[in-house]
Amino acid sequence: MTSLRLTSRYHFSASHRLATAALTAEENRRVYGKCNNPYGHGHDYVLEVSVEGPVGEDGQLVRREELDTLVADRVLALLDHKDLNTDVAGFAGRVTTTENLAAVIRAQLEQHWTLTPRLAGLRISETPRNTFSWEGSR
């Protein structure tokens, strides 16, 4: 069976502040540094969504529009031009690190997945220098 992986890249911008109630103000400062600044700050995030599966009769692994619509409705609508700490329910009680952001995005996609190929992986860049990735098991 001919199987491939397709990756599509999306962009969103959001603000956040790293802080946890489990630590004192001073400890938060030490652990998160600048990311703990009191009024928050923002990033232009880059998200890569990878899907894997066989090529259909139409020569495609997935219809581009179906993948784009799923990501737009379930991920970008939730996160783009939002404050992650206050606007996004998935972060209640969780620090808005990019690690946790990856988990929120993965949960959103898995919960609403309607596509034939499987969700194979995610990569999220907070800045061009920091990238976090998750790889699903085969």
Partner 1 sequence: MYLTRKAEFSASHICANPQWSEAQNRAVYGPNANPNGHGHNYVLEVTLEGEPDPATGMVFDLRELKEILNQEVIDPMDHRFLNREVPPFDSIVPTTENLAIEIWRRVDQRLRALPEAQQNGARLANVRLYETADLFVDYGGPASL
Active site residue ranges: 35, 81, 126
Taking the complex as a whole, the smallest distance from the CB of residue 52 to partner 1 amounts, in Å, to 7
- Using CA atoms, how far apart are residues 27 and 76, in angstroms rounded to an integer? 32
Taking the complex as a whole, the smallest distance from the CB of residue 128 to partner 1 amounts, in Å, to 14
Centroid of chain to Cα 97: 11
- Name 26's Cβ contacts closer than 8 Å, sequence gap at least 6: none
Closer to partner 1 by Cβ: residue 19 or 47 = 47
Q: What residues make contact with partner 1 under the rule CB under 8 A? A: 1-10, 52, 55, 58-61, 63-65, 138
Closer to partner 1 by Cβ: residue 7 or 116 = 7
- Using CA atoms, how far apart are residues 116 and 87, in angstroms rounded to an integer? 31
Residues 137, 1, 113: CA angle, nearest 5 degrees = 45
Closer to partner 1 by Cβ: residue 23 or 46 = 46
Taking the complex as a whole, the smallest distance from the CB of residue 28 to partner 1 amounts, in Å, to 36
